Amino acid sequence: LAARAHASPFRDNSPATATTMDSRLADSPPATPAPPAEPRTKSRVVVLGSGWGAVAFIKNVDPRMFGEDGPYELVLVSPRNYMLYTPLLPSAVGGVVSENSIVESIRSLMHDKGRYYEARATGIDPASRTLTCVKQFCEVCAARMDNGADVVHTDVDHTFTVPYDVLLCSVGAVSATFGIPGVYEHCWFLKSMEDAQKLRKHIGKALEQAALPDVTPEQRKKMLSFVVVGGGPTGVELAAELHDLMTEDVAREMPHILDDVSITLVDGLDSLLNSFHAEIQTYAGEVFNRSGINLRLGCKVTAVHVGKIEVQRKDGSADVVPFGTCVWATGIAMHPLVAALQAQLPAEVQGSRRGLLVDPNLRVMGSQGTIFCLGDAAVTGATTKTALPPTAQVARQQGEYLAALFSHHRLGLQEQPEPATGDLVPLPAGAKPFQYLHLGSLAYLGNQKGVMDLPFKTPFLKTLRGYLGGQTWRTLETFMQISPRTRWMVFMDWVRAAMFGRNVSDI
Ligand code: FAD
Ligand code: NAI
């Protein structure tokens, strides 16, 4: 380990050498001279991301391995200096829990285990084991870079590089749009905290605009029609939270507009929650029908225009669904950084359209053992049936597994690939493969009702439904929080909402 570390000419802040997604930035000369290289004596483990997989790793890894006498140094790179508890994102849109209650600072989670850089990785070069990162210091420049435009602060070098010995890639995924025209232009998403904040504000504004005196009844109906595309757990839970917001709080504070509110859920398949047990799929449909949520099942969205979506029914006929607000929740697609890395790896061992294929120890195939991948970015099986689902539960267990691997073994780095395996970072003998333990799935259906797919392999007691399911969901979502602080805050949010209702203002 040490031999390789001394032999490697590691350079922080050196000019970019990696293949980047934004070569214009990588090529731009640094305006200030690079500071001298930091001498390194340890193997550097770089973690990309601050979500479920990455945080499970840093929370569980033995700090002694990254301490003064440990063999590794830890660096975490992520544009978000917090971990987001995604399962309660729909509740944050509805206003039951506050946004601050479901995030935890990444620095408090890291403690003294290593360094954190607030930056976005834009390129991974597996050959030189170098990351190219873009600083996040200026929102204007970051937004312009995202759109491929010139940055405003041309006097600042926006990129820097980070060398690694071993990389843990846990950058998650992006919202899938399947190239359907108009989605980006006219729909809202629910993937990040920014998405939830923008959507919540927009809903508050829509309610207020609809209550203005010059609005005709037709305009009001249109403004208050909320359409959710995607009947997976994200779409279902969002529709449920919208339903609760309207029937509990808008009904109390703005009763004169309530009759014009409509919530419609559109899905190309014939049932909701298709990854859940069949009993739950049927039950979820019944609950939504009773709640007055319009279900447009068997309707695939083919295009989105201003204020309307085009759908195609199973029999081939077309229809149009008008909307005032449309939220797009049709699952996930590969992160562009992951796609760029995949393109650099041997095609014979990669090629999944969902993410990076990993071996049983979560090492990226074709990376000579130098890159581990976990969470939504990783594909654990060759076929859709054998691959693990992209859930927080999987990402968390994978992070815990890698934490144990790094805590119990010293991964030996080689200057030359080990002849037997061709690996630069061979696995130690005795390293067990990752094994997933399914603990069940939960979803909230509104009106205090919820469902749970139980993990027991018995012919009876396969699911939990109704009020009991709702209370189980609420209890588990509180106890599974990221930290004692967020656990307390989420608990207090439920109490606050039960006593005083939600805040429907658009702050
Ligand atoms: P994420 O948790 O998405 O984290 C990715 C991290 O990478 C983020 O910190 C991000 O900022 C960072 N990142 C992104 N790009 C870069 C870059 N270029 N460089 C560096 N860092 C980068 N799953 C469940 O099991 N149960 C649930 O109830 C549930 N509810 C959900 C509700 C919603 C609304 C959503 C959207 C998802 C839900 N999921 C749920 C799915 C779950 O959130 C994901 O499976 C999980 O977040 C995947 O973890 P991850 O670590 O792979 O990625
Ligand atoms: P999903 O992939 O589970 O569901 C997407 C839905 O969109 C599918 O039902 C699909 O038929 C539909 N769809 C796709 N294209 C469409 C089109 N053009 N028109 C109409 N419908 C279309 O996606 P979701 O809900 O975003 O979840 C992503 C991942 O996160 C999943 O693995 C899920 O299990 C997990 N998750 C789990 C939760 C839980 O356990 N409570 C909550 C939220 C997410």
Distance 487 CA to ligand 2 centre (A): 26
pLDDT of residue 418: 74
Q: Same domain, yes or no, for 86 and 26? A: yes
Mean pLDDT of the chain: 88
With 80 as the cut, is the pLDDT of residue 420 above it?
no
According to DSSP, residue 31 is labeled S
Residue 22 confidence class, pLDDT cut points 50, 70, 90: very low
Please state the rounded mean pLDDT for residues 386-400: 95
pLDDT of residue 67: 81
Min mean pLDDT across 2-16, 176-190, 267-281, 379-393 is at 2-16
pTM: 0.91
Distance 485 CA to ligand 2 centre (A): 30
Q: Same domain, yes or no, for 229 and 346? A: no
440 within some domain = no
288 within some domain = yes
Could you tell me if the CB of 275 is within 6 A of ligand 2?
A: yes
Kindly write down the DSSP assignment for every residue of 229-279, as one continuous string: E--SHHHHHHHHHHHHIIIIIIHHH-HHHHTT-EEEEEESSSSS-TTS-HH
Distance 329 CA to ligand 2 centre (A): 6
Q: Which of 363, 383, 408 is the last residue of a domain?
A: 408
With 60 as the cut, is the pLDDT of residue 37 above it?
no
Q: Quick one: tokens of 434? A: 């990752």
What's the one-letter identity of residue 91? S
According to DSSP, residue 67 is labeled S
How many residues can be counted in the chain? 507
Residue 6 confidence class, pLDDT cut points 50, 70, 90: very low
For ligand 2, pick from 234, 266, 277, 445 the residue to mutate: most ligand atoms within 8 Å of CB.
Answer: 234
Q: Same domain, yes or no, for 352 and 370? A: yes
Residues 355 and 379 sit within 8 Å (Cβ to Cβ): yes
454 within some domain = no
For ligand 2, pick from 330, 376, 442, 480 the residue to mutate: most ligand atoms within 8 Å of CB.
Answer: 330
Residue 473 confidence class, pLDDT cut points 50, 70, 90: very high
415 within some domain = no
414 within some domain = no
Q: Which of 366, 392, 408 is the last residue of a domain?
A: 408
498 within some domain = no
Residue 463: beta bridge partners? Answer: 453
How many independent structural domains does the chain possess? Answer: 2
449 within some domain = no
Could you tell me if the CB of 441 is within 6 A of ligand 2?
A: yes
Residues 131 and 167 sit within 8 Å (Cβ to Cβ): yes
128: which residues sit within 8 A by CB, 6+ positions away? 17, 18, 163
Q: Same domain, yes or no, for 21 and 102? A: yes
pLDDT of residue 81: 95
Closest residue by CA, ligand 1 atom 36 = 191
Could you tell me if the CB of 443 is within 6 A of ligand 2?
A: yes
User: Comparing 461 with 303, which gets the higher pLDDT?
Assistant: 303
Residues 398 and 405 sit within 8 Å (Cβ to Cβ): no
With 70 as the cut, is the pLDDT of residue 118 above it?
yes
- Residue 23: CB atoms within 10 A of its CB come to 13
Please state the rounded mean pLDDT for residues 99-104: 96
Q: Quick one: tokens of 194? A: 């920014």
Q: Same domain, yes or no, for 294 and 375? A: no
Could you tell me if the CB of 234 is within 6 A of ligand 2?
A: yes
First-to-last alpha carbon distance for the chain, in angstroms, is 53
Distance CA(225)–CA(236), nearest Å, equals: 16
Please state the rounded mean pLDDT for residues 78-105: 96
For ligand 1, pick from 22, 48, 52, 379 the residue to mutate: most ligand atoms within 8 Å of CB.
Answer: 52
**Residue written as token pair 């285990």:** 113
429 within some domain = no
Q: Same domain, yes or no, for 116 and 264? A: no
| Residue span of the structural domain in which 291 resides | 183-330
Residue 73: beta bridge partners? Answer: 44
> What's the half-sphere exposure (Cβ side, CA atoms, 13 Å) at 66?
24
Q: 467-479 and 484-500 are packed helices; what angle lies between their axes, rounded to 10 degrees? A: 140
Distance 276 CA to ligand 2 centre (A): 11
Closest residue by CA, ligand 1 atom 32 = 87
Angle at 15 between CA 9 and CA 19, to 5 degrees: 95
Distance 39 CA to ligand 1 centre (A): 34
Q: Same domain, yes or no, for 160 and 192? A: no
Q: Same domain, yes or no, for 300 and 193? A: yes
Q: Same domain, yes or no, for 15 and 37? A: yes
With 90 as the cut, is the pLDDT of residue 361 above it?
yes
Q: HEC profile for 123-151? A: EEECCCCEEEEEECCCHHHHHHHHCCCCC
- Ligand 2 atom showing the smallest separation from residue 190 Cα: 26
Report CA Rg, the chain. Answer: 24
Q: Same domain, yes or no, for 80 and 48? A: yes
Range with the largest mean pLDDT of 1-10, 29-38, 70-79, 411-420:
70-79
Q: Same domain, yes or no, for 312 and 360? A: no
Q: Same domain, yes or no, for 289 and 355? A: no
Q: Quick one: tokens of 476? A: 């588990």
Q: Which of 330, 356, 374 is the last residue of a domain?
A: 330
Closest residue by CA, ligand 2 atom 3 = 232
- Ligand 1 atom showing the smallest separation from residue 84 Cα: 2
Distance 275 CA to ligand 2 centre (A): 9
Distance 53 CA to ligand 2 centre (A): 20
Please state the rounded mean pLDDT for residues 414-428: 78
With 80 as the cut, is the pLDDT of residue 316 above it?
yes
Please state the rounded mean pLDDT for residues 210-218: 96
Q: What is the CATH number of the domain that holds 11?
A: 3.50.50.100
CB under 6 Å to ligand 1: residues?
A: 48-54, 77-80, 86-87, 89-90, 120-121, 170-172, 190-191, 234, 337, 375-377, 390-393, 395
